[in-house]
Structure 1
Amino acid sequence: MAESPGCAAAAPETPGREVRIDLASGGVERFALVTTPSAAAESVEPRALVIDFHGLAEGAEVHARMSQYSELAEQEGFFAVFPQGTGDIASWKAGVGGELNPDHADVEFVTDLLERLGADHCIDLGSVYATGLSNGAMMTSTVGCLLADRFAAVAPVAGAAFYNDCPSTTPMPVYAIHGTQDPLLPFNGGVGNVGAVIAGGAADQTKVEVDLDGPGYPAALASWAKHNGCSAEFVDTQIDTEIIERRWDCPAGAETVFMIVVDGGHSWPSSEFSKSIAAQVGHTTDQLDGTRDAWEFLREHHRVIDEA
């Protein structure tokens, strides 16, 4: 197990829920919210880390309410981190339409953030994972490609992407979720105006329009499967009335899984927050948990690090 420099600390850590940290990256002041589990106060030992990227216009604080990764981090004893994007309408410079974004400022930020977290906390460097919603799912896919040497597995929700210009040949385990009736990012892709409406408070709402041109999510996952050295054929299994699990025959350590939510919207499965904005995002299923079920997949994957 490869330990981060923070593991050299003599004293246990101080637990905290979504504590803000500030750091400079590329000459720009950035921040993230960090949840340190209570277990870290009991012993200094390497723990897994989940980076959870917010969606377009959502922001780190609101997304933490949606995904509830802080609650799971406390229960399971890992670190959960919610980075903030840039702009008045918070977003990530992630690739769209099957091509990487040539502006890698956010990739640099994630790299700087990982360095900061590794210095401040005792992290298992082989158990670093990424997840996120919508534009955050695209950012999750981006780091899965460009930072395959830092992340062990990714779990994009409602926006998985594969980039044809991805330079990495390293397999990346993927657990993706998408609804067949997503009104913002259509299941089968295409061009459209995406009206992202995210509740920012009790009454506030912000509308944003973005043009996207993608191949669709079944195609994106098929491309990930090909990248991971999996078979071209897949097997669909009806897990529940609203859930189809699509799997490819993949080499060990390169599992590629697509959880299809029948009639699902642009939402985080089992999220009460998603349910509260159903008028904007559509149906949220309770037959899959976008946090716990994804974590069960992520935690099984570890990156082998040569410490020589």
Structure 2
Amino acid sequence: MKRPALLCLYFAAACGGSSDKSESESDQTESEQAPDGTTEDGTGSDAGPSAGDLEPGVNELTIEQVVEGETVERTYLLHLPADYDASASEATPLLFAFHGSGGAGTDFINQFVPSIEEHDFIGVYPDGIASSWNIEREESNADDVAFAASILDALDGVAGIDTERPVGIGFSNGAALVHKIAMESDLFVAIVPQASQLLVDSQPTASAAKVSVMQFHGTADPVCPYDGGTGILDYNFMPAEDSTAAWAAHNGCDATATETDIAPHVRMEWLNCENDRRVIHYRMNGAGHEVPPDVDGGSNARIIEFLIEARQ
């Protein structure tokens, strides 16, 4: 798996049932390891949590990361089902969800409770530094792609957790991050970017992994304009449909999308993709910087169905 250099991994579990809130060894062929266990770029690895450290419900875990020469503590939530059993015969896969600018990992706790309790997924909800993800001009200069990869490595081998073929969801700034992760690593087998598209100067290259994509975007979005351009941000966005079409072309899908009227919205899908990938775009007519819950009979239900299928 093509992952960035690992971070220093540590953990501290703070458990709560409330819904309110691998490759762990350094590759010395790529960077020499110092006596203290870190590499020349200031990163390293250590053991993650064990099943005995975790409890059903929401667990708060931490990872240390070196950012601009300073060691900072990164946090993420691990949302386990109420009947989590480390001795169960089948492990449950991971769903990463990345908040928008100004948000936090807690934003997703209520959203995916049904699928977590049904053992469709275990939720991983990271926190961005300064409540944002480093795309180009955010307050944080952290390597958030490496942060996501290191969370996966920390959870690798934990009983009851399946770290193979994880999936990623993001909203706004978090959607920009799942685009970035998919372009720069093979961490996720599928992504669901909501309310943010690719940038004009940042599109998947031939070396990027083939991933299934389900993108949601409102035609009245003032933050990330549906038709592209800068909107209220200093970013040059592609038109939203062109962004999804770029992923379709990358996945070798049909050049033209098949459209389905799901009034008042439109569902677009590029068929016949390579490697059984799927690429879908929801044009949410009249919607702003949001994802209405009733899209296509229930946006959450469509997302979970899509992600489950993508892992098969």
Q: After TM superposition, is the score higher than 0.5?
A: yes
Report the CA distance shift for 1:166/1:92 in structure 2 as closer, same or farther (over 3 A). farther
- Percent of aligned positions that are identical: 25
Which residue is equivalent to 1:21?
61
Aligned residues: 257
* SS of residue in 1 equivalent to 2:310: coil
Which residue is equivalent to 1:45?
90
Q: Is the 8 A contact 1:34 1:79 kept in 2?
A: yes
Any gaps of 5 or more consecutive residues in structure 2?
A: 1-21, 25-46
Which AA in structure 1 matches 2:133?
W
Which residue is equivalent to 1:92?
133
C-alpha deviation, 1:121, in angstroms: 4.5
Q: Is the 8 A contact 2:57 2:82 kept in 1?
A: no
TM-score by length of structure 1 reads: 0.74
* SS of residue in 1 equivalent to 2:145: helix
Q: What are the superposed Cα offsets for residues 198-239 of structure 1, whole Å, 9 maximum, x if unpaired? A: xxxxxxxxxxxx42211121111111111111121111111x
Indicate which of 293, 307, 312 corresponds to 1:298.
307
Alpha-carbon distance in structure 1 between the residues aligned to 2:107 and 2:290? 14
Mapping 1:234-245, distance limit 5 Å = 234-238=257-261, 240-245=262-267
1:223 aligns with 2:239: no
Indicate which of 85, 88, 113 corresponds to 1:70.
113
Q: Is the 8 A contact 2:197 2:239 kept in 1?
A: no
Alpha-carbon distance in structure 1 between the residues aligned to 2:276 and 2:158? 29
1:191 aligns with 2:230: yes
Q: Is the 8 A contact 2:218 2:291 kept in 1?
A: no
Which residue is equivalent to 1:60?
105
Alpha-carbon distance in structure 2 between the residues aligned to 1:292 and 1:76? 14
The structure having more radius of gyration, on CA atoms, is 2
* SS of residue in 1 equivalent to 2:62: strand
Indicate which of 156, 159, 168 corresponds to 2:196.
159
| Aligned residues: CA RMSD | 2.8
C-alpha deviation, 1:119, in angstroms: 3.9
Report the CA distance shift for 1:125/1:253 in structure 2 as closer, same or farther (over 3 A). farther
* SS of residue in 2 equivalent to 1:186: coil
Any gaps of 5 or more consecutive residues in structure 1?
A: 97-102, 194-209, 271-284, 304-308
* SS of residue in 2 equivalent to 1:120: coil
Q: Is the 8 A contact 1:234 1:248 kept in 2?
A: yes
C-alpha deviation, 1:264, in angstroms: 1.4
Alpha-carbon distance in structure 2 between the residues aligned to 1:116 and 1:216? 37
Alpha-carbon distance in structure 1 between the residues aligned to 2:128 and 2:243? 24
Report the CA distance shift for 1:269/1:121 in structure 2 as closer, same or farther (over 3 A). farther
1:214 aligns with 2:259: no
Alpha-carbon distance in structure 2 between the residues aligned to 1:286 and 1:219? 21
Report the CA distance shift for 1:185/1:147 in structure 2 as closer, same or farther (over 3 A). same
- Of structures 1 and 2, the one scoring higher in RCO (CA 8 A, sep 6+) is 1
Alpha-carbon distance in structure 2 between the residues aligned to 1:22 and 1:76? 24
1:111 aligns with 2:156: no
Q: Is the 8 A contact 1:4 1:125 kept in 2?
A: no
Which AA in structure 2 matches 1:133?
F
C-alpha deviation, 1:61, in angstroms: 1.6
Alpha-carbon distance in structure 1 between the residues aligned to 2:193 and 2:90? 28
Q: What are the superposed Cα offsets for residues 269-289 of structure 1, whole Å, 9 maximum, x if unpaired? A: 31xxxxxxxxxxxxxx45443
Alpha-carbon distance in structure 1 between the residues aligned to 2:209 and 2:125? 25
Q: Is the 8 A contact 1:153 1:301 kept in 2?
A: yes
Alpha-carbon distance in structure 1 between the residues aligned to 2:173 and 2:237? 13
Report the CA distance shift for 1:69/1:217 in structure 2 as closer, same or farther (over 3 A). same
Which residue is equivalent to 1:145?
183
